Structure 1
Amino acid sequence: MKTINKWMSASLVAALLLTGCTNEQPPAPSAQSATSPSSQPADAPQQPGASPAAATQAAIPAAVDKPLKIALVSEFSIGTFSAQYLQGVKEQVSKFGGELVVYNADGDLGKMAAHLDTAINQKVDGILINHGRAEALQPGVERAVKAGIPVVAFDNDLDQVEGVTVIDQDDYSLAWQGLKNLAQSIDGKGNIVYIWVGGFAPMEKRNRVYEIFLKRYPNIKEIARFGSATPNTALDTQAQMDAILKKFPNKGDIAAVWAPWDEFAKGATRAIKAAGRTEIKVFGIDLSDEDLQLIQEPNSPWKASAATDPADIGRVQSRFLYQKIAGEHTPKYFSLDPHLVSQDKLPDQPVNMSDLTQYVSGWGRSDAAISPWMAALEAKHK
């Protein structure tokens, strides 16, 4: 596009440094550094995975060679992304012969902290944390670590607790991929609607990139902002977006919608289609089978979403936890690589998440947090 300069990622990194944000993650370690078992010598070559032959010969550590009780403490379970993430956790824990106990706080941080205390008091073998904030969870997490219960957290700010591994989807890259695509699609100018809610670690990170984006593209103007996280987020967003469309009724009033959560994108897409305003383009973050159906509908305004496989997130998080239980070193931070899934790159026939490896370069199962003994453990419980 004529108005888009070719520098992108470098300017983003520089701008992030200049913003002076605190509590930022250092660069994520490579998949290789996340997979080395403690049983290897320090100078042994690191490998992201193990061949089937090597895996079957690897001794299963005694700490994981028994049925383990794993707790998953979630802030919420809204939408299909959360459902597919949970499925990934269940799948991996089951393959390792473990028992998964799920605690859902329904968006209540106080309830989430109480669930964490319950899991600790029940002396579970390991704890997975899904979202939440350190202000509510840090005392409980510190108590778990002190009690010798390993903890791996996803999408939160618990990085101040020593011994906890925090994984995420690399929210800065997710946001920049989607926003860059939005800017290119509207030639770097036009009015946009921003659907966002604060109070969640990944949302706060994505918003930092959005603020830089507005400075990078001064001809793109935000004309409306709304958003809330509720048990019916997609429906509530649809109603709110419908009100925005009535406030800006003319073609050209709105060029695009930035929705950095797929529940927001679903609601906006449905409102735009119902109003016959499909000239408005929607760009989002996160992806599920339901989202893919909406993106592939005829005349769908949802043009692209930056995402990682939610089920794969659950599998990787679970593997890190088992590595911790086995006494292996795990990184303090780990970010899964996101991908941009564009409507124009998908085939005419409907596809689901498992099909995306054929159409999105790099999409697929992560080989992070794989130790040589894991295949043997899975085979034992097959």
Structure 2
Amino acid sequence: MKRTSTLVPGLVGLALVLTACSQGGGGSTTEPSAPGDQGTVEEASGEAPAPFDGDVKVAIVQQSGQGDYFQQYLNGTRQQAEALGIELSTFDAQGDNATQASHLEQAIASGVDGIIVRHGFPDTLCPGVNKAIEQGIDVIIYDVEIQQCAPEAVQTQQSDALMASLVLDRMLEDVGEGADVGYVNVAGIAPLDRRDVVWRESLAKNGWNELFKTGAFTNSTATDSAPMIVSSVQSNASIKAIYSPYDEFAKGTLSALEQAGRKDVLVYGADISTADIELMVAEGSPWVATGATDPNAIGAVVMRTLALHMAGELDSMLVEFPPILVTQEFLREEGITNMETLRAAQPELNISDVSSADWIPVVEF
């Protein structure tokens, strides 16, 4: 039998902006800077294999951006590391590719047993990833298309094609074929590129007329994208809907539509958080659907995937995490106002059965 316990507040948490790992900085931290959603631990029933029968050190080398998705992901990562007894160091380049490459070198030199690389670009990361693997360090990648240049690294990702399909199928129901639509996205970021493939297929299949593509991916994505979207909307009066496949793009789109006085344009997004839920259920909100996973659960399952890999028990080089469709009417009908009530209504968000084993104490949200 497994026992369930609650993680003690203060032992785990999240850190988006880390003084020692700030953009251009050169250090790491093992201390959380603020508490996040507290999960519960379904304790292990089996005996931990090597190397988890001793001390284990892991580093996460990440590129964070604006928005609470990144905070929730790191929160889940930290809590799962705590449950496994892992000493976790966090390096955050905050949008600086050269800094991320430097952080990866620092993580390798620090003598860690495993590394999680989250977001970034293959050209920046492949040399360091391959170096780590050559030195016997297990590496898990999240949302970077790196398998071509670093085939021995394990790739993890959301099922982005399914996420896009769920939302765009709903968009078709709402606006029909042949509609004038807009698109907020940028190229070169793995999950957004995967969603773009489905978008292009949907344009052709549904006869939609893409009147514009715009957007900026920065440390202030929503703020920086909004003026670009305002201009595009004002120049295209016939637009019926906008697909914004990242919640910061969706936030920028909502702001732009308000500035342009166009609350009649429907918005379709990706990702979910308490802040996103509040925006979706607000009176008059045009954000009607989003494809979503729980970032806390994703952070935890990526850490579990690394643990399985380090123990020699992972049987795949690609691990994907399934999303669900969250609609505005569902949120309103169920009285959902935050992630806690959404998880209660949609327990499949927890994905606690993914990358699990009897020796792993699984963190559930």
TM-score class, shorter: 0.7 to 0.9
Q: How does 1:277-288 map to 2 (within 5 A)?
A: 277-288=262-273
How many corresponding residue pairs? 320
Which structure: larger Rg?
A: 1
State the alpha-carbon separation in 1 of the partners of residues 342 and 358 from structure 2.
27
Q: CA 1:211/1:128 → structure 2, altered by over 3 Å: closer, same or farther?
A: same
- 2:192 matched to 1:207? no
Q: How does 1:248-259 map to 2 (within 5 A)?
A: 248=236, 250=237, 253-259=238-244
| Displacement of 1:366 | 3.0
8 Å contact from structure 1 (residues 242, 271) kept in 2: yes
Q: How does 1:140-151 map to 2 (within 5 A)?
A: 140-151=128-139
8 Å contact from structure 2 (residues 61, 91) kept in 1: yes
- 2:159 matched to 1:187? no
State the alpha-carbon separation in 1 of the partners of residues 347 and 172 from structure 2.
22
8 Å contact from structure 1 (residues 273, 300) kept in 2: no
8 Å contact from structure 1 (residues 110, 136) kept in 2: yes
| Displacement of 1:82 | 1.0
8 Å contact from structure 2 (residues 234, 260) kept in 1: no
8 Å contact from structure 2 (residues 257, 263) kept in 1: yes
- 2:360 matched to 1:374? yes
State the alpha-carbon separation in 1 of the partners of residues 76 and 316 from structure 2.
21
Q: What letter corresponds to residue 223 of structure 2 in structure 1?
A: L
Aligned to 1:168: 157
Q: Which of 67, 71, 81 is equivalent to 2:59?
A: 71
Coordinate RMSD, CA, aligned: 1.9
Aligned to 2:71, the other structure's residue is in SS state helix
8 Å contact from structure 1 (residues 77, 104) kept in 2: no
| Displacement of 1:365 | 3.5
Q: Which consecutive unaligned segments of at least 5 residues does structure 1 have? A: 1-51
| Displacement of 1:354 | 2.5
- 2:300 matched to 1:300? no
- 2:96 matched to 1:111? no
8 Å contact from structure 1 (residues 234, 263) kept in 2: yes
Q: Which of 305, 329, 349 is equivalent to 1:363?
A: 349
8 Å contact from structure 1 (residues 239, 271) kept in 2: yes
8 Å contact from structure 1 (residues 356, 364) kept in 2: no
| Displacement of 1:361 | 7.1
8 Å contact from structure 2 (residues 65, 218) kept in 1: no
8 Å contact from structure 1 (residues 177, 340) kept in 2: yes
State the alpha-carbon separation in 2 of the partners of residues 235 and 329 from structure 1.
41
State the alpha-carbon separation in 2 of the partners of residues 263 and 78 from structure 1.
7
Q: How does 1:1-382 map to 2 (within 5 A)?
A: 55-56=44-45, 58-160=46-148, 161-218=150-207, 220-248=208-236, 250=237, 253-347=238-332, 349-360=335-346, 362-375=348-361
8 Å contact from structure 2 (residues 215, 229) kept in 1: no
State the alpha-carbon separation in 2 of the partners of residues 327 and 238 from structure 1.
46
Which moves more between the two structures, 155-164 or 355-364? 355-364
Which moves more between the two structures, 196-205 or 272-281? 272-281
Aligned to 1:194, the other structure's residue is in SS state strand
State the alpha-carbon separation in 2 of the partners of residues 374 and 361 from structure 1.
20
8 Å contact from structure 2 (residues 336, 342) kept in 1: no
Q: Which has the higher contact order (CA 8 A, sep 6+)?
A: 1
State the alpha-carbon separation in 2 of the partners of residues 355 and 67 from structure 1.
37
Please, what TM-score do these two structures have when normalized by structure 2? 0.83
Higher strand content, 1 or 2: 2
State the alpha-carbon separation in 1 of the partners of residues 224 and 61 from structure 2.
26
Once the two structures are superposed, what CA deviation does each residue of 1:178-229 show, in whole Å capped at 9, x if it has no partner?
Answer: 11111111122321111010111111111111111111011x2111111111
Q: What letter corresponds to residue 354 of structure 1 in structure 2?
A: E
8 Å contact from structure 1 (residues 304, 343) kept in 2: yes
State the alpha-carbon separation in 1 of the partners of residues 143 and 308 from structure 2.
19
| Displacement of 1:310 | 0.9
Q: What letter corresponds to residue 133 of structure 1 in structure 2?
A: F
Which moves more between the two structures, 272-281 or 91-100? 272-281
8 Å contact from structure 1 (residues 159, 332) kept in 2: no
Please, what TM-score do these two structures have when normalized by structure 1? 0.79
Q: What letter corresponds to residue 189 of structure 1 in structure 2?
A: G
State the alpha-carbon separation in 1 of the partners of residues 209 and 50 from structure 2.
58
Aligned to 1:48: none
Aligned to 1:346, the other structure's residue is in SS state helix
